[in-house]
Amino acid sequence: MKPVLLAHHARSGATALNVVTAALSADARTREVEVRFCPGRVSLVDEARQVAARGDLPVLAWSFYSPDFTVSAQDLAWVKARTQDVSLLHLAGGAHATAEPLQTLEAGFDLVAQGEGEPIIVETFAALLDGKLPCAPGGPPPLALGDRLRPSQRLSQHGPAAHSPIPGLAHLADDGALVTRGPGDRRPLDDFPAFNIAAGKWNAIEITRGCVYACTFCQTPTLFKARFRHRSAANVHEHVRAMVRGGGRYVRFLTPTSLSYGATGTEVVLPAIDELLAGCREALGPERKLYFGTFPSEVRPEHVSVEALRVLKRWVDNDSLVIGGQSGSERMLARTRRGHDVEAIERAVRLCVEEGIRPDVDFLLGMPGEDPADRALSMQLARKLVDQGARIHSHAFMPLPGTPLRGESPTEIEPEIALSMSQLESAGAMYGQWRKQQQVGQELVALRKQRASGG
Ligand code: SF4
């Protein structure tokens, strides 16, 4: 019986699943593991039944951010209801599972990968191939895991008999207690591929993981630790060449703060950025596109300088830059530990406009402790920046698990501010998912209250 990875390749988890499935190819023990991408729950059930029918073990891999937790749990219940007669494992990872392992396991997942998924998935599949049942280090072994697979026919009867403790793996003990030693290993980014080349599943190349800043609303520092780990320029260039060979037409990057590439602290290391982009341009040639400092990543305002903008202009194709502004209130910038002031935002916008780059400025409204005067200052700044040539990318606060603000609630965005935002949207000067995020924020609060009341 061989384990086969079935990736629930949907919504916010798709990129993470490209990366963790690619990690299997980086280890000789797991290189041959069969991977199938399932774009939704229907195909997940079909593939699981096919794999089980030929006598193999489907391992269903899920990854999701907190806003997708509820719908992922619903999908899981749907899949389980249709595979009750099949031996399989459900393994969940990602930001939400890492921050809320107990809630995730109680939703019905068998195993949770806490922290960085690449080493955990490799060790999990190596254990299964070795005839062992993967489990969390310490605590009682997950005998219940075998029970949950299929009451009448435990996994151990198919082959795996012993257990293999894997750092970063969590599960429930028989009495429902959480068994975990916390997040697993953090390895250099170069140890694993940034996308799944063999499967042709391209995504933005992750060039930096972790963040030295400590914005209170953000999951990144708690998820990946408060320091930077960078993928080497040579490794990034190798990825770009592979992408070009595979027919890719453009490259984007994933990083908490684009102009921190090569840095250990808050400094900007322009030679490192120049080397990174020059090699990417060489690999891409003049026709294919290179995007940096734009979706899905951004630039901190105090990092913007004429010199930095000129380095970017030399190599990249984007004519806009996404700048993290977040608030027009000095009080809220300090309270959320952004590490910059309003003047830094205004300066970054001015420099971009002067250099012919359109600034897209992120704003976050509805933060805990934000009062109407703070929001008025944000709207005042937003309008001023729009007049100077910026567009506003608007967000609403969500109390994300794992963050210092996880126990807080969003403050109301009052009708006058909402109207002002709608007017900017109508004028094409503002875009963003703030309405949907307001709804998700309330769902996260409701979920938290439900758990606190034991529901
Ligand atoms: S918001 Fe950006 S700069 Fe702040 S902690 Fe998160 S990733 Fe780092």
The parent domain of residue 390 ranges over 319-455
Q: Is the pLDDT of residue 162 over 80?
A: no
Strand locations in 300-384, DSSP E?
320-326, 358-365
Q: Is the pLDDT of residue 155 over 80?
A: no
Residue 400 phi, psi dihedral angles, 5° rounding: -75, 135
CA 228–ligand 1 middle distance (angstroms): 11
> What does the block give as tokens for 442?
């309330």
Check whether residue 324 and residue 418 sit in a common domain: yes
* Alpha-carbon span 35 to 215, nearest angstrom: 37
What percent of the chain has pLDDT above 90?
Answer: 81
Check whether residue 217 and residue 125 sit in a common domain: no
Q: Is the pLDDT of residue 452 over 90?
A: no
224 lines ligand 1 (CB under 6 A): no
Check whether residue 342 and residue 448 sit in a common domain: yes
297 lines ligand 1 (CB under 6 A): no
pTM, to two decimals: 0.93
326 CA: nearest ligand 1 atom: 1
Q: What is the mean pLDDT of residues 68-94?
A: 93
Check whether residue 311 and residue 340 sit in a common domain: no
Tell me which of 206, 209, 213 to substitute to probe ligand 1's pocket, judged by most ligand atoms within 8 Å of the beta carbon: 213
Check whether residue 91 and residue 42 sit in a common domain: yes
CA 1–ligand 1 middle distance (angstroms): 44
Check whether residue 208 and residue 259 sit in a common domain: yes
CA 129–ligand 1 middle distance (angstroms): 39
In a domain, 189, yes or no: no
* Alpha-carbon span 38 to 300, nearest angstrom: 36
CA terminus-to-terminus distance, the chain: 39
Check whether residue 269 and residue 344 sit in a common domain: no
**Which of 302, 317, 332 finishes a domain?**
317
- What confidence tens digit (pLDDT) does each residue in 415-435 have? 999 999 999 999 999 999 999
State the pLDDT at residue 139: 65
Helix (H, G, I), strand (E, B) or coil at 267: coil
In a domain, 302, yes or no: yes
**pLDDT band of 176, cuts 50, 70, 90:** confident
CA 216–ligand 1 middle distance (angstroms): 9
Stated length of the chain = 455
Check whether residue 356 and residue 256 sit in a common domain: no
**Which of 317, 335, 356 finishes a domain?**
317
CA of 142: how far to CAs of 18, 324, 394, in Å? 28, 44, 44
For residues 29 and 18, is the Cβ–Cβ distance under 8 A? no
Check whether residue 325 and residue 303 sit in a common domain: no
User: What's the CATH number where 399 sits?
Assistant: 3.30.750.200
User: What's the CATH number where 76 sits?
Assistant: 3.40.50.280
405 lines ligand 1 (CB under 6 A): no
> What does the block give as tokens for 36?
């199938």
Q: Is the pLDDT of residue 180 over 70?
A: yes
For residues 281 and 241, is the Cβ–Cβ distance under 8 A? no
State the pLDDT at residue 152: 33
In a domain, 292, yes or no: yes
Check whether residue 103 and residue 229 sit in a common domain: no
In a domain, 341, yes or no: yes
Check whether residue 216 and residue 138 sit in a common domain: no
Q: Is the pLDDT of residue 15 over 80?
A: yes
298 CA: nearest ligand 1 atom: 2
215 lines ligand 1 (CB under 6 A): yes
SS3 content of the chain, % helix, strand, coil (to 5): 45, 15, 40
**Domain total in the chain:** 3
CA of 346: how far to CAs of 163, 229, 294, 370, in Å? 57, 29, 18, 21
Q: Is the pLDDT of residue 137 over 80?
A: yes
Its sign, for the CA torsion 196, 197, 199, 204, is: positive
